[in-house]
Amino acid sequence: MLDYNVCKNWVFPDIAVDYTERDTMLYALGLGMGIDPMDEGALRFVYEKNLQAVPTMATAMGTPGIWWRDPRTGADAVKLVHGEQDVRLLKPLPVKGSLISRNRVLSLTDKGAGKGAIAVVLRTLLDAASGETVAESRNVTFLRGDGGFSEQGGVSDPGPAPLPAVPERPADLEVSYDVRPEAALVYRLSGDANPLHADPEIARKAGFDRPILHGLCTYGMAARGVIQHVLGWDASRLRRLAVRFTSPVWPGETVRYEFWREGDTVLRLRASVDARQVVVLNNGIVEIA
């Protein structure tokens, strides 16, 4: 059973993140940028001339790995799923540099026996030279096999505030992207080497008929849509992207992103795979400058 005190006080060592322009371009390629070699806007993310970084690359930097697999946590790591992702950019992400990643557990919430638990982990990315905060990334994990842990110690934190539902009116903007068949194999080179996204045998053991796309790739493609169709390819204006993951995407599918404008600096977001009639990202919030 999950050990609240061990997990809440888990000590993560600082992680040094040294990355180059090549890493920045590889991340963008994993999101499908550059599929049209004549698209000069997208080339600013996959070619060193006037290079920009896609801000959501912060989610692929300085991850502590699946530390829930450590037996000291008491967690059932096989049943955990990535529930929500929320990244905030305090300054534009450099195209290359040295960062320090610091991770800490913010909260552990017991939903009750048979109902699972919720963990929130905050990652802060600091400029290694100045110490200034570049980005904050909040990861919400659903621990489906760990409900009821507070019955032993009597401790459970308040749960995170839910992301609000998207508007019921028609979207103001729709963008569709085809996911290339090799997308997961390219995206995993940015740091998420989970074999679920590459190995057919592992995927079958997890209950899928083939490897699935990384949720954070679908998430990064949402940023691609905002940068291309809202920000005129100026990635420095993206300040926040928060979503709830609701269903997996398979390479080869088409993802349709819907955006609702709420004033000059906020958009709402939902993404769907119409061929299967499923919502894959929901309750999204986008903040721009």
pLDDT tens-place string over residues 166-199: 999 999 999 999 999 999 999 999 999 889 999 9
Name the active-site residue from 32, 192, 214, 220.
192
Query: What mean pLDDT comes out for the span 123-138?
Result: 98
In this prediction, residue 78 carries a pLDDT of 85
Structure confidence by residue, pLDDT tens digits, 84-98: 999 999 999 999 999
User: Is residue 277 exposed (0-12), middle (13-18) or buried (19+ Cβ within 10 Å)?
Assistant: exposed
Q: How confident is the model at residue 214 (pLDDT cuts 50, 70, 90)?
A: very high
192 noted as active-site residue: yes
- Over residues 73-85, the pLDDT tens digits come to 999 988 899 999 9
Query: Which segments of the chain does DSSP mark as H helices, in order?
Result: 4-8, 21-30, 40-46, 150-153, 183-187, 200-205, 215-229
Q: Which of 23, 30, 212, 284 is catalytic?
A: 212
Query: Tokens 């300085």 — which residue?
Result: 62
Q: What is the pLDDT of residues 32-74, one digit of tens each?
A: 999 999 999 999 999 999 999 999 999 999 999 889 999 999 9
Which pLDDT value is given to residue 35?
93
pLDDT recorded at residue 61: 97
Look at residue 28 and tell me whether its pLDDT is greater than 90: yes
Q: Which amino acid is at 135?
A: A
Asked whether residue 249 carries a pLDDT value surpassing 90, the answer given is yes
Residue 123 pLDDT > 90, yes or no? yes
Q: What local confidence, expressed as pLDDT, does residue 94 receive?
A: 97
In order of their start, the domains of the chain are 4-288 (3.10.129.10)
Average pLDDT over residues 230-259: 98
Output the pLDDT for position 71: 97
- Known catalytic membership, residue 215: yes
Query: Would you state the pLDDT for residue 165?
Result: 98
Q: Which residue did the predictor score with more confidence, 205 or 112? A: 112
Q: Which of 62, 215, 220, 284 is catalytic?
A: 215
Residue 206: predicted pLDDT: 84
199 is catalytic: no
Q: CB under 8 Å to 276, separation ≥6 — which residues?
A: 253
The two structure tokens encoding residue 126: 């600091």
User: Which residue of the set 32, 110, 191, 197 is catalytic?
Assistant: 197
Which whole number is the average pLDDT over 142-154? Answer: 93
Query: Region 266-283: what's the mean pLDDT?
Result: 98
pLDDT at 153: 84
Q: Which residues contact 175 (CB under 8 A, 6 or more apart)?
A: 225, 228, 229, 256, 257, 259
List pLDDT tens digits, range 98-110: 999 999 999 999 9
Chain-centroid distance of CA 239 in Å reads: 15
The whole-number pLDDT of residue 24 equals 98
